[in-house]
Structure formats: structure tokens, C-alpha cells
Amino acid sequence: MRRFPSAFLATLGLAIGSHTLALAQTNTSTETVWSLEQCIDHAVKNNLQIRQSGLTIEQAAVDVKQARADQLPTINGSGTHGFNNGFFLDPVRNQIQNTQIWSGNVGVNGSVNLYSGLQTRNTIQRNRLELQASKLDQQKVQNDITLNVVTAYMNILLNQEILKTNQERLNLTQSQLERTQRLFQAGSVPESNVLDLNAQIASDELNIITAQNNIELAELQLIQLLNLTEANPASFSVVVPNIPDPDQTVIGFNAEDVYATASDRMPEILRARLRIQSADKSIAIARGAYHPSLSLVGSVSTRYSSGSSLISFGQTGVPQRVGFLDPSLSQPFVIYSLEQSEVKYPYFDQLQDNIGQFIGINLSIPILNGFRVRNNVQLSKIGLRNAEINSDIAKNELKQTIAQAYTDAIGAQKRFVAAKKQLEAFEQAYRNAEIRLNNGLINNVDFNVARNNLVKAQSDIIQAKYDYVFRLKFLEFYQGKTITL
């Protein structure tokens, strides 16, 4: 089987890759190109974590409404209807009977809380504080998502620049290979030089593929943050701004200034303060259980029993002589005997006739309840101390994050200056090594040392540049400035 030279295979692979890249550029001509500002706005409106935090705000709002509604009177209706067989207490006659009847009652009762140790008022205030803290929770999530979007966006730009550098490096290696092949054919250099450059071309192509994969991974992360369910890295692209190199001017602020500004506006600090106030209100609510509770109560009720009946009296028609006969009377004095009978007592008539009303004051005085109130107060005090510690933790984390970002920005600025000088030196060393290699004065090992130094210097200066820009934008964000590129 015929074997193709490695140089031919490398050239073929490069041609196929260039054709694929050209097609990709043609297909992406109709893509939506996202700027950093568009990404941030879209993420704030559509990110799932931000939308989920909105549900917590709605729940907190309902808790406030319920706490305010607890001040209103409570009114409840009730009714029963059942069958009795055997001995029972008739609810209407209040007599013990042994029969089978249907009975029931209906009523309405209500109560108004007059005093309960100010627990209702303190609950309203606490729930309002929790509502404000929930809104700040959502702002914290928005800030985290914003910084994650900026990080993913910067990673895309970083890897795109690395890809561009790798492609230029491949072109240089390809040119070096062509010159070395001519020298080899002329007998000036050994064949090993050609083979080494073929291997270097394969390594450069691998670096290109790695950079392309890193771009796709960063794009995928950004797509997920934006919650673009139908998008994919192949149909997604971002605006590539012109990012200037870091200058040597001193950063116009320090970490303490940034922290002083951030501590007055960042949601993680403000919500910690609100949670301390909320915990203090929880203590007041728990202590309210020590106080007596007073409420106004009232009810209206009525009853029915099928065993109840009306008593009717009627004349028998048979006269009965009673008393003494009075001679002056033309007729004797007579009376008629009365006959007693029971008449059915209608249901609604019973309900109307048996209406009863009640109004009164209900006083409850706590005396002994298994130390439940005291333990609840102690638990609330523990919750207050925990909220205070969480506030200190949030302050320390913010201060540490800002200090770290400031230190990294200063370090990246210095590293860029050093990397720029290093790159200039290694570029000169690489050009000299290339000339000496072409003249046969050095071998490939020495040339690869110069080349690897140049590659590392190029990578270092790119990393320092984007690290500085990101840290600077990070600090500007904590100062309340809008992140733009």
C-alpha cells in the first residue's frame, strides 16, 4: 500500500481545515452576534437561577400579606346533622330520651385578637424585613450571573486570541518546513530536520484544535447562562472588541476605597444587615408569648331535633258540670274538657325559635407550658448571633475578594510589562536561531528551545492582558460601574 509523506498529509489537513473554517464563516454570516451588554441583559431576564429567586420573593410577599391579614377578625361557620338511636340528650328539649331521631345544629362564631404581646405587629415587621432581604438575594444572584457571563465572554475572547496565535505559529512552521525541504534536497541539512518540522506541524495543529475546543466550551457555558435552549456553539458568536494593552499608569483607586463603596451597596452586605434586624424581631415575637392574650369572642347558633314537637289543646265536645248551681243563672255553669295533642315542629321553625347568641372576652394567661416560651426565646437569640456572624463572614469575604482582585490586577499589569520585554527578546532569539538552523549552525534541539521560549512568551502576554482587563472590570463592577468592553 502506498504511503504518503507526512508533509503531504499535513498540507492536506490544513487545506481541509481552512475550507471548513471558510464554510463556518459563511454559515455564521446570518448568526446573531452577541455583545457583552446584550449577554448581561439577556441573562438577567432569562437565567433560570434568577427566575427561581423571583419565586422566593413572591413567597415572602405572601408571608407579609398573611401577617397583615392576621389582624382581621376570624369568622367561621359550622353545622352538623346526624341520626341518634337509643339514649341521648335531646339538644332542643335538653332531656334524656330513648328513641330514634334526627338532630343537628348550625352556628357562626368569630373572634378578634385584642392583645397578644405585640406578636402580630412584630411578625409583620419581621416578614417585611425578610421580603427586602429576599429581593437582595435576587440581586446577589444577578451579580453572580453577571460576573459569570463576563468570565465566559472573556474566556471566549482569550481562546480566540490564542487560536489566532496558534494559527500564525502553524503558518511559520509551514514556511520553515518548505525552506528546510529545499535545503534537504540541496544536501545542506539532514532529513531529520524535515521530520522534526513535520512533527512540529502536527503539534501546532493539535494546539489549534485544543483552542477551538476551549472556545466551544466557553461558548457553551455562556449559552447556558443566557438560557438559550435552541442555540449551540456552531450558531453562536460574540462581538470581538478592541481591547488595548494594559498601560503603565497607576490604578486610580485602592482596595480599601473599593471595599468602602461596595460595603454600602452590595446586596450580600445589605441583606446580612436586614437578617440581623429580622432575627431581632424574632426575639420580640418569642418574648410576646410571655404576655397574656386577650380576645373578643362571639357566636350565633341554633338547633334542630326531629323528636321535638308542638303541643296543641282542643275541646272534646262533652260538657262537664263543675261547681255549684247558681239559681240566678238560666244555664248551669259548665266547662269543656281539653284534649292535649302533639303537632309536628317544622325544621326551619325550630331553627328560628332556637337561636342563641353569645359575646364575651377570652383571657389566656401563660403559667406553665414546659418552658416552651423560654426555649423559643433562647433559640431566637441564637438565631440573632448566627445572623451577626453571617454578616461578619459576608464582610470578610467581600473584603478578601476585592483585595485579591486588586492584587491580581496589579500583578497582571506587572506581568504584562515583563512578558512584553520577554516576548521581544525571545522573538529576536527565535529569528537568530532560525537563521542559524537554515545555515546548519545549530541542530533542531537548540532551535526548538528557542521556539518553545517564544511560544511560552506569547501565551504569557495574552494571559496577562486578559487577566488584567478582567480584574479591572471586576473592581469597577464592585464600585457600581457598568461593565463594558
Give 246-258 pLDDT, tens digit per residue. 876 767 788 999 9
Question: What does the DSSP 8-state code read for residue 324?
Answer: P
Confidence label for 27 from pLDDT (cuts 50, 70 and 90): very low
What gap in Å lies between CA 267 and CA 273, rounded to an integer?
A: 10
Q: Where is pLDDT greater, at 309 or 289?
A: 289
CB within 8 Å of 208: residues ≥ 6 apart: 17, 163, 166, 167, 170
* Per-residue model confidence (pLDDT) at position 385: 97
CB within 8 Å of 180: residues ≥ 6 apart: 189, 193, 194, 197, 437, 438
Residue 272 confidence (pLDDT) above 50: yes
Parallel, antiparallel, or unpaired: how do β-strands 74-89 and 33-34 relate?
unpaired
Residue 1 confidence (pLDDT) above 80: no
* Per-residue model confidence (pLDDT) at position 14: 40
Confidence label for 26 from pLDDT (cuts 50, 70 and 90): very low
87, β-bridge pairs:
98
Q: For residue 157, which of 208, 205, 215 has the smallest C-alpha distance? A: 215
What gap in Å lies between CA 177 and CA 117, rounded to an integer?
A: 90
Question: Burial of 342 by CB count in 10 Å (0-12 exposed, 13-18 middle, 19+ buried)?
Answer: exposed
* Per-residue model confidence (pLDDT) at position 4: 38
Say which residue the cell 512584553 belongs to: 420
Spans of all domains in the chain: 6-72+116-291+366-478
What gap in Å lies between CA 216 and CA 238, rounded to an integer?
A: 12
- pLDDT above 90 covers what percent of the chain? 45
The angle that helices 36-46 and 119-185 make with each other, rounded to 10 degrees, is: 140
> Of how many residues is the chain composed?
485
CA–CA–CA angle 260, 264, 270 (5° rounding): 135
* Per-residue model confidence (pLDDT) at position 325: 47
Q: Where is pLDDT greater, at 91 or 189?
A: 189
237, β-bridge pairs:
33
Q: For residue 150, which of 316, 35, 251, 59 has the smallest C-alpha distance? A: 35
* Per-residue model confidence (pLDDT) at position 221: 93
Residue 12 confidence (pLDDT) above 60: no
Residue 5 confidence (pLDDT) above 70: no
What gap in Å lies between CA 39 and CA 45, rounded to an integer?
A: 10
Inter-residue contact 466 to 244 (CB < 8 Å): no
Confidence label for 125 from pLDDT (cuts 50, 70 and 90): very high
* Per-residue model confidence (pLDDT) at position 339: 58
Question: What does the DSSP 8-state code read for residue 263?
Answer: T
Give Cα 433 to chain centroid, integer Å: 57
What gap in Å lies between CA 270 and CA 397, rounded to an integer?
A: 14
Q: Which letter, b or e, does each residue of 76-114 get, where b requires 16 or more Cβ atoms within 10 Å of its Cβ?
A: eeeeeeeebeeebebbbeeeeeeeebebbbebeeebebe
Inter-residue contact 292 to 363 (CB < 8 Å): yes
* Per-residue model confidence (pLDDT) at position 17: 42
Q: How far apart are the first and last CA of the chain?
A: 56
What gap in Å lies between CA 19 and CA 38, rounded to an integer?
A: 31
What gap in Å lies between CA 439 and CA 375, rounded to an integer?
A: 90
pLDDT in tens, 355-386: 999 999 999 999 988 899 999 999 999 999 99
Residue 18 confidence (pLDDT) above 70: no
- Please state the rounded mean pLDDT for residues 44-56: 92
What gap in Å lies between CA 220 and CA 127, rounded to an integer?
A: 40
3-state secondary structure of 47: coil
* Per-residue model confidence (pLDDT) at position 344: 79
3-state secondary structure of 346: coil
Residue 62 confidence (pLDDT) above 80: yes
What gap in Å lies between CA 476 and CA 250, rounded to an integer?
A: 15
What gap in Å lies between CA 197 and CA 177, rounded to an integer?
A: 6
Q: For residue 126, which of 267, 283, 288, 282 has the smallest C-alpha distance? A: 282
Q: For residue 245, which of 472, 409, 461 has the smallest C-alpha distance? A: 461
Question: What's the CATH number of domain 6-72+116-291+366-478, 3.40.50.720, 3.40.50.300, 3.60.15.10, 1.20.1600.10?
Answer: 1.20.1600.10
* Per-residue model confidence (pLDDT) at position 42: 93
Q: Where is pLDDT greater, at 437 or 123?
A: 123
Residue 256 corresponds to which cell in the numbers above?
Answer: 480599601
Amino acid at site 461: I
Inter-residue contact 189 to 183 (CB < 8 Å): yes
* Per-residue model confidence (pLDDT) at position 23: 39
Q: Where is pLDDT greater, at 412 or 393?
A: 393
What gap in Å lies between CA 252 and CA 258, rounded to an integer?
A: 11
